Structure 1
Amino acid sequence: MISVKVGNDEKPLDDASSDWIVQQIERRRRDGIAVCVVVSIRTADLDMRMSTPECAGGAGGGRPPNARERVVLELWQKHGLNEAGFAPGHVVAFLVQLKRVL
């Protein structure tokens, strides 16, 4: 299962439309609220939680990522989601590509 959380609003990926994601991010930015996006992935061989820089909380696990985790992390970085000021469309693009690699 994959879920997307923007601020306090969370949805399973299948229910999180690209319009919903973009609107949630843009609305928070318009209101001057820090935008925290968290993507949680729980599959048979993955258990990952990735968050954008404005989220409170700690870093990743205490071991190097395995090959599948590395692919997901590289995709996250490719879309600039590890940088403040990321584009809302990059979250959507990440999720589309994530479905393909899983």
Structure 2
Amino acid sequence: MIAIKIGTADRRDGDIDARWITDQVNARRREGKKICVLFKVNCGDVNLNLPSRDYPKAGGGGRKPNVNEEFILDEWRKMGFPDQNLNPGMVVSFWEFVKQICD
């Protein structure tokens, strides 16, 4: 299962597409709102909640990531999610990356 929450809008699995992601990110940018994104990835031995930099803080962690989770977290960091302002391309790219892992 992959779920993405962008602001107050959320979708999961087959309801997610690049156009929806782009529309949601751009709508928040036009409204002058922070781009808050939360990825929830739960497939195989992967169980991650990945909030973007501006996502409201929530509890998390509690255990060390396994090898597959660490692989996804490394890509998350490489793409700059914890540190950068988001753009639609970043969100779409990460979604496509995670989708490949979970399929």
Q: Same fold (TM over 0.5)?
A: yes
Structure 1: segments with no counterpart, 5+ residues: none
Deviation digits for residues 46-77 of structure 1 (CA, Å, limit 9, x no counterpart): 21110101111136413321101101101111
Aligned partner of 1:53 in structure 2 is 53
Q: CA deviation at 1:18?
A: 0.4
- Over 6 Å off, 4+ runs: none
RMSD: 1.5
Q: Identify the residue that residue 38 of structure 1 maps to in structure 2.
A: 38
- In 2, the alpha carbon distance for the partners of 1:45 and 1:82 equals 23
Give 1:38 shift. 0.6
How many residues in Structure 1 have an aligned counterpart in Structure 2? Answer: 102
Q: How far off its partner does 1:34 sit?
A: 1.3
Query: What 5-or-longer segments of structure 2 have no aligned partner?
Result: none
Aligned-pair identity (%): 31
TM-score, structure 1 as length reference: 0.89
Any conservation in 2 of the 1:5–1:38 contact (CA below 8 Å)? yes
What is the deviation of 1:30?
A: 1.4
Measure, in 2, the Cα distance between the counterparts of 1:81 and 1:91: 9
The letter of the residue matching 2:96 is: V
**1:74 matched to which residue of 2?**
74
* 1:20-65 C-alpha deviation (Å, 9 max, x unpaired): 1011111101111111111101223121110101111136413321
More deviation, 3-12/81-90: 81-90
- Secondary structure of residue in 2 paired with 1:50: strand
Normalised by the length of structure 2, the TM-score is 0.88
